[in-house]
Amino acid sequence: MWYNTKATEMLGIQYPIMQGPFGGNLSSVELVATVSNAGGLGGYGAYTLSPEEIIAVDKQIKAATNKPYNINLWVSDTDAENGTVTDEQYEQAKQLFKPYFDEAGIPLPAKPAPFKPRFENQVEVILDIRPKVFSFMFGVPSAEMLEQCRRLGIKTVGAATTLDEAIFLENAGVDMIIASGFEAGGHRPSFLASAESSTTGTFVLLQLIREKVKTPVIAAGGIANGKGVAAALALGASAAQIGTAFLATDESNALPIHRQMLFSDAAKYTTLSRAFTGRFGRGITSRVAREMLGKEKQFLPFPLQTTFMSPLRKAALEQEKWDMILFWGGQIAPILKHTKAKQLMQSLIEETTAYFDNLKA
């Protein structure tokens, strides 16, 4: 059957369908459990959580499903030198943001306190809670960490945006590689070259990686229905990872207006921008996203750009100024149909099955 792949065998799941983890508090226990209980692999994006919070979330997931699931972290979680910015950088960003803060009628924030990377402490927790799958982006954990995961039976999954990154991940010995195409919603997880120069589409990237790399590959980016899953499998993927379509379901932790936007006409247009966090990510085009293009020199490095963007987003939400917000989402949003994660899973399975059955008929 189409659903017996290297991924289903390795991860102990029924269908090669993975729900993409969402960082920034957009994942939910309910979504993870719904997807895992339906035979796929639910994923929780935990990069903003403290070790204690990860332990608490993990307990909730374990209570909601006895099936395999994935916990996701960011290996590199800052681009700020020594975690901070100069007074000059801060002043430049203040000038850039002043008109928007004036428009929203809120005060400009103070210079951010230095940011302390979180990955080293978070990753220790992974070894304690032992999810079936530990996926990561923006780099590769140390050889010792990968070895410890291997010993504990935790499958490791790294994200690549280029063939070079896939080869790097294979040489590090990860169990599976995500081919992260530029159609995808959220951040581009590039870690060797700049994200701006790593913009290959999912199906080209998948084929390039399959030519040169033996590690099983998961296709991510622009897949939202059974035909997309079938296409990924036909091109050699062992599984498909689906983000935007699950983000749009009621079970995700996205705000109702965010989910509504993903189903609206606005979702026809998306932008890759550093304006919202300091790292390159795709969301529905908004006025602020358009106006910030070309002003990257005044942005603060990840994640300190959020010093400005978070209060602005909060005020814009309160004032319903949607054009001041970037709602994360991928290029595939206009074909979305399902608002319930269980129905989305069922439909993905039925459509993929029908597609392969038709080929045999």
Ligand X SMILES: Cc1cc2nc3c(=O)[nH]c(=O)nc-3n(C[C@H](O)[C@H](O)[C@H](O)COP(=O)(O)O)c2cc1C
Smallest distance from the beta carbon of 95 to ligand X, in angstroms?
Answer: 29
What does the DSSP assignment read for 261-309?
Answer: HHTSGGGG-EEEESTTTSS-EEEE--HHHHHHTT-GGGSPPTTTTHHHH
- Cβ closest to ligand X, residue 76 vs residue 92: 76
- Alpha-carbon span 141 to 119, nearest angstrom: 9
247 binds ligand X (CB under 6 A): yes
- Alpha-carbon span 81 to 93, nearest angstrom: 16
- Cβ closest to ligand X, residue 17 vs residue 213: 17
203 binds ligand X (CB under 6 A): no
137 binds ligand X (CB under 6 A): yes
Among 243, 278, 301, 303, binds ligand X (CB under 6 A): 243
Token pair 């932790």 is found at 253
285 binds ligand X (CB under 6 A): no
Radius of gyration of the CA atoms of the chain, in A: 20
* Contact by Cβ (8 Å): 197, 237: no
Among 328, 344, 345, 349, binds ligand X (CB under 6 A): 328
- Cβ closest to ligand X, residue 89 vs residue 225: 225
Among 8, 13, 17, 21, binds ligand X (CB under 6 A): 21
Smallest distance from the beta carbon of 193 to ligand X, in angstroms?
Answer: 18
By residue count, the chain amounts to 361
36 binds ligand X (CB under 6 A): no
Among 183, 191, 275, 279, binds ligand X (CB under 6 A): 183
Smallest distance from the beta carbon of 294 to ligand X, in angstroms?
Answer: 24
**CB burial class (10 A; 0-12, 13-18, 19+) of residue 269?**
middle
Please give the C-alpha separations between residue 225 and each of 11, 86, 234, 332, 337, in angstroms, as whole numbers. 22, 47, 14, 10, 9
Residues at the contact surface with ligand X, assessed by CB under 6 A: 20-23, 26, 45, 47, 72, 135, 137, 159, 180, 183-186, 220-223, 241-244, 247, 328-330, 332
